[in-house]
Amino acid sequence: MFSLDPKLEAKIKPHVKRVLVLESNQAYARILTDMLRVLGTEKTIVETDDRRAMMLCDDLNPQLIFCDLKAQNLEGAKFVTALRRSEMKCRKIPIIMMASNDTAETLKDARDCGADEFMKKPFASGDLLKRLEHVVTKSPPWIEAVMYVGPDRRRFNSGAGPRKRAPETMSDGMKRIEQSVRILRAAADQFDVDRKQANRAIVAQLEVLVPACKAITDPGFKGAVTEIFMAYKGGTLSGDTLRGPVATLAKLFRIDDPPKSEAVA
C-alpha cells in the first residue's frame, strides 16, 4: 500500500497515534483507516455526526482529524470553526479537510474555517502522505484573531497562497508584528461583539508585541503596547480602551485599510 521512506515514517508515526475521522461514506472511512493503521495509528474513531464528534474530542484528545466538508448530519466547516474556538486541548491540532471536488469555493470553505490541508476524494496513498508530511513537518504559524482562528491560511494547501499586505522588503519578524497590529485593530473593533475571542486574540498578540518593545525603539510603539498590556493586567480591556493605543500602532505601521481584514486573507 505504501512505499514509505523510513525517515518520513519516523517523523509521521508519533503524530498519528490517535486519529478522529469524520466521514459518512463507509468505503472512504475504511480505506483511510487501513492506510492510517499501516502508518502506525493505534486508535482511529470514525464518526458520521459532527455534534457527536465534538463530544468525542474531549475523550479521545486526537492528534489529527480528517473531516468531510459536507455530508448528511455532518457540517465539516462548522465543526472545525467550533473546535478552533473551543477550550479543548486539541483545538490547535492538524485538520485535513476532505471533499469530492476541489473547486475554488470548496477550497475557500476549507481554508476559512481553519483547516490545515485539503485532500480531494478519491485519494491515493501518495495524496495522504503528502498531506501528512506537510502538517507534521511544515506546520504554519497559528493565527488567534477574532474573525479567524487557525493556521496561517496564506500557506494553505502546501503553501500555494501568496503573502499579502506586508511589503516584501519588510523582514519576517516585522511582518509578524505588523500582522499582530492588524489583528489588534480587528479585536478592538469586534470587542463588544465577541469578547471571549477578542480577549484571546489580544493576549496572543501581546505575546508578539511585548517582546518587540526591546527591538523597536520608537517611544510611541512601546507606549501603546504598554497601555494595552496594563489594561489587560488591570482587567479594563474594552473596545474604547483599545482604540487609542491601537490607532497609534496602526499609524506607525501605516495601516489604513479596514480593521476587520485581520491580515490573514
What are the φ and ψ backbone dihedral angles of 65, each rounded to 5 degrees?
Answer: -130, 135
Cα–Cα distance measured from residue 119 to residue 107, given in angstroms and rounded to the nearest whole number: 10
How many whole angstroms from its chain centre is CA 10? Answer: 25
Residue showing cell 482604540: 243
Q: Which 8-state DSSP code applies to residue 154?
A: G
Determine the pLDDT at residue 8: 83
Task: Show pLDDT as tens, one digit a residue, over the chain (265 residues).
Answer: 566 778 888 889 999 999 999 999 999 999 999 999 999 999 999 999 999 999 999 999 999 999 999 988 899 999 999 999 999 999 999 999 999 999 999 999 999 999 999 999 999 999 999 999 999 888 788 999 999 999 997 655 543 333 445 555 678 889 899 999 999 999 999 998 999 999 999 999 999 999 999 999 899 999 999 999 999 999 999 989 999 999 999 999 998 765 554 544 4
Instruction: Find all residues with CB under 8 Å of 161, minimum gap 6, and list them.
Output: 153, 154, 155
SS3 18: strand
Q: What is the pLDDT of residue 261?
A: 46
**Phi and psi dihedrals of 28, rounded to 5?**
-65, -40
Residue 41 in contact with residue 35, Cβ under 8 Å?
Answer: no
CA distance 16 to 97: 16
pLDDT score of 139: 79
Provide the pLDDT for residue 256: 76
| Residue in 263, 223, 262, 264 with CA at minimum distance from that of residue 244 | 223
